[in-house]
Amino acid sequence: MKTQVAIVGAGPAGLLLGQLLHQAGIDNIIIERQSPDYVLSRIRAGILEQVTLDLLAEAGVAERVAREGQVHHSIELVFGGQRHAIDVHGLTGGKSVMAYGQTEVTRDLMAARSALGLTTVYEAQDVQIAEFEGTSPTVSWTQPNVAGGSVGIGGQRQELQCDFIAGCDGFHGVCRASVPQSAITTFEKVYPFGWLGILADVPPVSPHAIVYGNSELGFSLCSMRSLTRSRYYVQCPLTDTVDQWSDTRFWDELRRRLDPELAERVVTGPSIEKSIAPLRSFVAEPMRFGRLFLAGDAAHIVPPTGAKGLNLAASDVKFLSDAFKEHYLERSPVGLDQYSQRALKRVWKAERFSWWLTSLLHRFPDTAGFGQRVQEAELDYLVHSPAMSTSLSENYVGLPLDFGA
């Protein structure tokens, strides 16, 4: 088997890259170790920046998000028992974000790829990459079931020869793990708490804004997937388990962390998904190793506080797809040579914003007392300072791709 770009990972980053490359006439095959149903079962973020929306339009998969997505023009901050709105739309000259679940983005991209008859290999066993530091990289795996094309016989070892490998296989994927440790530098901060999140078929408490809460009990977040499906979170100890949190306990705790008026508006219902996620900041440098390029969670993780994970992956894909187009269509190596540097400049700005917002809103072991009052003072300054509110807003909607270039 041969292709121009082998993409490892069929999450939104890999699928989006494959779609953009196909639009440019660049052949690609995607290899994914999980089943399609498993990929679609992963519950992730649901806030899309304009850069991401533009890329979905370029990829030809923007129809449903335009129809079903909900525009958010503002942020609401709860602290000291009161709620304050920040006019993101007004402070950024008319920019906003779209609430639309990552699962739905993945579903749209899967459907588009299938309709085009493009090859995606699912349930790939023992995926390995090799020779990416030379001129003839390969991806190999044990033949699984196949979606979107007929590739070999089940149970046999398969090898895909390619010009380049795009590692879009997430934090625990094989691509970054295949890089020699001496060639890569990693930076990591692990936070001493987790997020307990539930998904429920109830109307959102605030249909036009995301609500962030800071209280002496800890962080809370009210977001949405649609006008009838909501996603809520509360900060919890990493030692907690889902079994310790009944739906009743969760709803009671969420209300305690909101202002009284908003707490009264919370509509409760049975959870359809409940999980606890640890928080970390992580960056791997560089993002290119010969003919292997990392994108998305394979190269970086941000706390979900700033809603940057999916959007950072999309900007990686933008830089990388443009670089491949320059290589194949213009015979220029500049985009590939500059990919890591360009992507990392944006990554670190998003890491800074996500770290800052996480530090501002959560209760840390040393936050009680003095620390809590300092957080409240900074939040009060934030909502009353036009300069500070503008800084928050422009980071929230996403900095331009060429910011600081």
- Interval 33-71: pLDDT, tens: 999 999 998 767 689 999 999 999 999 999 999 999 999
* Local confidence band at 156 (pLDDT 50, 70, 90 cut-offs): confident
Does the pLDDT at position 26 exceed 70?
Answer: yes
Q: How many angstroms separate the Cα of 221 from the Cα of each of 136, 254, 306?
A: 47, 9, 11
Residue from 212, 233, 328, 339 carrying the catalytic annotation: 212
Whether the per-residue pLDDT at 105 is higher than 70: the answer is: yes
**Encoding tokens for residue 78?**
């709860």
Between CA 51 and CA 32 the distance in angstroms is 26
Catalytic residue of the set 304, 327, 328, 339: 304
pLDDT at 204 over 80: yes
**Catalytic residue (one of 72, 274, 327, 362):** 72
Mean pLDDT of the chain: 94
Give me the pLDDT at residue 74, please. Answer: 95
Closest by Cα among 395, 167, 361, 175 to 279: 361
pLDDT at residue 318 greater than cutoff 60: yes
Is the pLDDT at 150 greater than 50? The verdict is no
The whole-number pLDDT of residue 63 equals 95
- For residues 86 and 100, is the Cβ–Cβ distance under 8 A? no
Q: Under a CB-based contact definition with an 8 Å cutoff, are residues 238 and 80 in contact?
A: no
Closest CA relative to residue 10, chosen from 43, 42, 33: 33
Question: For 125, which DSSP code?
Answer: E
Q: Distance between CA atoms of 304 and 149, rounded to whole angstroms?
A: 35
Q: What percent of the chain has pLDDT over 90?
A: 89
Split at pLDDT 50, 70, 90, the class of 209 is: confident
What is the rounded CA–CA span in Å between residue 230 and residue 245?
18
Domain 5-62+103-186+280-353, CATH: 3.50.50.60
Q: Which one, of 122, 94, 108, 106, lies nearest residue 45 by Cα?
A: 106
Place of tokens 């890259």: 17
**CA atoms within 13 A of residue 70's CA, in its CB half-sphere:** 20
Q: Which of 300, 308, 325, 362 is catalytic?
A: 308
**Predicted TM-score (pTM) of this structure:** 0.93
Quickly count: other Cβ atoms within 10 Å of residue 284's Cβ: 20
Determine the residue type at 130. Answer: A
Q: What is the pLDDT of residue 31?
A: 97
Q: Is the pLDDT of residue 288 over 80?
A: yes
Report the pLDDT value the prediction gives residue 328, as an integer from 0 to 100.
98
Round the CA-based radius of gyration of the chain to a whole number and report it: 22
Token representation of residue 376: 């409240």
Token pair of 367 as six digits: 């936050």
DSSP 21-80: HHHTT--EEEE-SS-HHHHHH-----EE-HHHHHHHHHTT--HHHHHH-EEE-EEEEEET
pLDDT at 147: 47
Please tell me the predicted confidence (pLDDT) of residue 46: 82
189 is catalytic: no
CB atoms within 10 A of CB 243: 7
What are the CA-CA distances from residue 88 to residues 20, 185, 220, 389 (Å)?
Answer: 30, 36, 20, 8
Q: What is the pLDDT of residue 154?
A: 58
Q: What gap in Å lies between CA 163 and CA 139, rounded to an integer?
A: 11
- Is 70 exceeded by the pLDDT of residue 364? yes
Active site residue 345: no
Which tens digit of pLDDT belongs to each residue from 229-284? Answer: 999 999 999 999 999 999 999 999 999 999 999 999 999 999 999 999 999 999 99
Give the pLDDT confidence score for residue 224 in this predicted structure. 87
pLDDT one-digit tens code per residue, 330-353: 999 999 999 999 999 999 999 999
73-95+191-279+366-397 folds as D-Amino Acid Oxidase; Chain A, domain 2 (3.30.9)
Residue ranges of domains in the chain: 5-62+103-186+280-353, 73-95+191-279+366-397
Question: Does the active-site annotation cover 304?
Answer: yes
Least confident among 200-209, 249-258, 389-398: 200-209
The better pLDDT of the pair 144, 329 is held by: 329
Exposure class string for 149-182: b at 16+ Cβ within 10 A, else e: eebeeeeeebebebbbbbbbbbeebbbbebbeee
Mean pLDDT over 155-169 rounds to 94
Hey, CA dihedral for 360, 366, 371, 376, is it positive or negative? positive
Are 327 and 336 spatial neighbours (Cβ–Cβ below 8 Å)?
Answer: yes
